[in-house]
């Protein structure tokens, strides 16, 4: 049985630590402790950025679907069964032994944590093998409002090939992005992160509103563009000062963040199957899409291409 993996032990840690904007930080023992903590406390979303694909037929696929647990998500495409590590953990007793062995080789710390149900001491964690990503990013593209990086990809020439990206962009771009639901996200949380991650996008000019499309713009500056850009900069500085004053007075970050404008940047991990990625590219490279997110979609297309699998869907 051929088994393929996307991710590593470190990928789980990175996807969790992005909440604190510390996804570049690594300390092997602390990383292992974090995996144990996430597992024991059912913080499951970081495990979704590791993906397993293995050869199997539809009978094996059906056998993995649990009628008593409708949250289980397992996919079949071109002779391969796909599931993320979160679902694999919830199906642990049903997984073929060859798959478990591959998980042990590819995600060794996580394998032991799952096998022992999280009951490992710090001393038992120390000697465990720990798998790392080869690099923070394989490729990075800068766009006008931020950047996107390709972390990893698992390509088997199916609609369920998987890709992991890191994106840094304004809030209003992220909120449009998260409308694409077939995928996994982990994002910087301003409940955790204060002044240490406080960056903003300022548009070079204010575009005209399109007359024929209520949600689109025309890539031309309005007459008072320069004035409004300067006022936006002042508004950002005023909101930052108020935000920092609230924090310095002992105010909670979860409330203080409310004064920060939509131009504030966020960062998130996105693990997505090819069929959903193609849908994103189709919709977000369209001329009616907002310029800022259109630039990201074009960057993705240039990095990993477009295969047209989204055309299988009517809507």
Active site residues: 284
- Cα 297 to Cα 122, 146, 196, 282, 290: the distances in Å are 43, 12, 28, 8, 11
Task: Check: CB of residue 71 under 8 Å from CB of residue 86.
Answer: no
Task: Check: CB of residue 248 under 8 Å from CB of residue 254.
Answer: no
Bridge partners of residue 82, in order along the sequence: 53, 75
Closest CA to 7 of 43, 36, 46, 44: 46
Residues in the chain: 315
Helix, strand or coil, per DSSP, at residue 162: strand
Task: Check: CB of residue 147 under 8 Å from CB of residue 201.
Answer: no
Bridge partners of residue 88, in order along the sequence: none
Query: Could you give the CA distance from residue 223 to residue 216 in angstroms, rounded to a whole number?
Result: 18
Q: Which residues contact 86 (CB under 8 A, 6 or more apart)?
A: 44, 45, 47, 48
Query: Could you give the CA distance from residue 165 to residue 152 in angstroms, rounded to a whole number?
Result: 7
Bridge partners of residue 142, in order along the sequence: 147
Helix, strand or coil, per DSSP, at residue 151: strand
Closest CA to 161 of 292, 15, 53, 240: 53
- Cα 117 to Cα 15, 35, 141: the distances in Å are 21, 12, 40
**Radius of gyration (Cα) for the chain, nearest Å?**
22
Query: Could you give the CA distance from residue 279 to residue 180 in angstroms, rounded to a whole number?
Result: 9
């Amino acid at each position: 049985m051929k088994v393929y993996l996307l991710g590593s032990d470190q990928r789980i840690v990175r996807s969790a630590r992005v909440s604190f904007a510390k996804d570049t930080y690594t300390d092997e023992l602390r990383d292992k402790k974090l995996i144990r903590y996430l597992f024991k406390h059912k913080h499951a979303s970081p495990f979704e950025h590791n993906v397993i694909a293995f050869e199997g037929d539809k009978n094996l696929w059906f056998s993995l679907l649990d009628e008593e647990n409708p949250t289980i998500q397992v996919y079949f495409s071109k002779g391969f069964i796909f599931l993320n590590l979160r679902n694999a953990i919830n199906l642990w007793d049903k997984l073929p032994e060859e798959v478990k062995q591959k998980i042990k080789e590819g995600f060794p710390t996580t394998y032991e944590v799952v096998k022992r149900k999280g009951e490992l001491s710090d001393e038992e964690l120390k000697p465990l093998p720990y798998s790392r990503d080869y690099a923070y990013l394989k490729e990075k593209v800068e766009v006008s409002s931020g950047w996107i990086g390709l972390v990893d990809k698992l390509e088997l020439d199916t609609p369920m090939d998987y890709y992991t990206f890191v994106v840094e962009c304004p809030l209003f771009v992220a909120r449009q992005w998260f409308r694409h639901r077939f995928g996994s996200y982990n994002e910087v949380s301003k409940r955790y992160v204060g002044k240490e991650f406080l960056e903003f996008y300022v548009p070079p000019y204010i575009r005209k509103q399109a007359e024929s499309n209520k949600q689109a713009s025309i890539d031309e500056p309005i007459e008072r563009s320069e004035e409004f850009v300067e006022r936006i900069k002042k508004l950002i500085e005023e909101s930052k000062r108020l935000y920092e004053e609230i924090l310095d007075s002992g105010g909670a970050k979860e409330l203080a963040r409310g004064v920060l404008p939509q131009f504030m940047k966020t960062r998130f991990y996105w693990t997505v199957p090819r069929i959903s990625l193609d849908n994103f590219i189709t919709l977000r490279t369209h001329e009616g899409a907002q310029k800022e997110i259109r630039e990201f979609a074009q960057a993705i297309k240039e990095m990993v291409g477009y295969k047209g699998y989204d055309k299988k869907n009517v809507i």
